[in-house]
Amino acid sequence: MDRNLALHMAKLAEQAERFEEMVGFMKEIIGMGLDADDLTQEERNLISVGYKNMISQRRQAIRSLGGFDDGGEHTDLKKQYNATLAQEVDQVINMVINDVVSKFTVGPNAAQKPENLVFFHKMEGDYYRYGAEICGEEAQGDEAARRENYTSKAREAYDKADKAGESLLPTNPIKLGLALNQSVFFYEICKETQGAKDLAKKAFDAAIDELDSLQEQEYKDSTLIMQLLKDNLSLWSENEDDEIQVQDIEQ
């Protein structure tokens, strides 16, 4: 299968919502030995969307199971089923790290352009964050250790993305997306509420000062993410004592 055909098949699989197959077609492209900087923006985003939908299905399954009240019956079976779902999350995380992140952040195919390096380290941080998320805040024993391990790896990955993106303009959508998702990590996983607010506000304020210099498409891309930052800041301020659903992005 050549590159154009694999890309076309990935788009068809996306439309059919067959995301495992979508990922399979994008892995055909990854396996062609391309450097990270040789990927088109479309290819890079399709890789991200495919894996994001795979993990989202499993995250939602765990949330739904957690909210299911079976009246206390068959508790062990529910725990076993939850463990099976958590194992699937681990498998997707390992796929992302081994098939994508490791290939495009270290070694001969690693990104050299800051924007691309930020993209893949942000992706790494996001998936480790998902791993920490499913363990739950009240995890104990092995689950607590697992949550801590994922949290530590997410923090390290986001820090790498931060460093890689130092030269990017504050209006760069990938840099803004990093600030958005990293602030969600601080708020939801680390419970560093003030740190989350400070990061989101700093990114928003820095970008808004530069908006007048952007072309129309750049303006749309940047302001979309800035609105998500603003929405989260509002939610965090209004619901400090409540559990809330905040927003992140695929890119």
- Rounded to whole angstroms, how far apart are CA atoms 225 and 40? 21
Name which of 175, 205, 203, 199 is nearest 187 in CA terms: 199
Q: How confident is the model at residue 251 (pLDDT cuts 50, 70, 90)?
A: very low
pLDDT at 220 over 70: yes
What is the pLDDT of the chain when averaged over all its residues? Answer: 91
Q: How far is residue 117 from each of residues 18, 112, 137, 203, measured CA to CA in Å? A: 28, 7, 31, 19
pLDDT at 106 over 90: yes
pLDDT at 111 over 60: yes
Query: 94: left (phi > 0), else alpha (psi -120 to 50), else beta?
Result: alpha
**Least confident stretch, 25-34, 110-119, 132-141, 181-190:** 132-141
Whole-model pTM: value is 0.91
Span 129-145, mean pLDDT?
Answer: 86
Task: Using the structure block, give the residue that is written with the tokens 């062609």.
Answer: 32
What pLDDT does 66 receive? Answer: 80
- Judge whether 176 and 248 are in contact, CB under 8 Å: no
Span 163-173, mean pLDDT?
Answer: 95
pLDDT at 250 over 60: no
Span 232-248, mean pLDDT?
Answer: 73
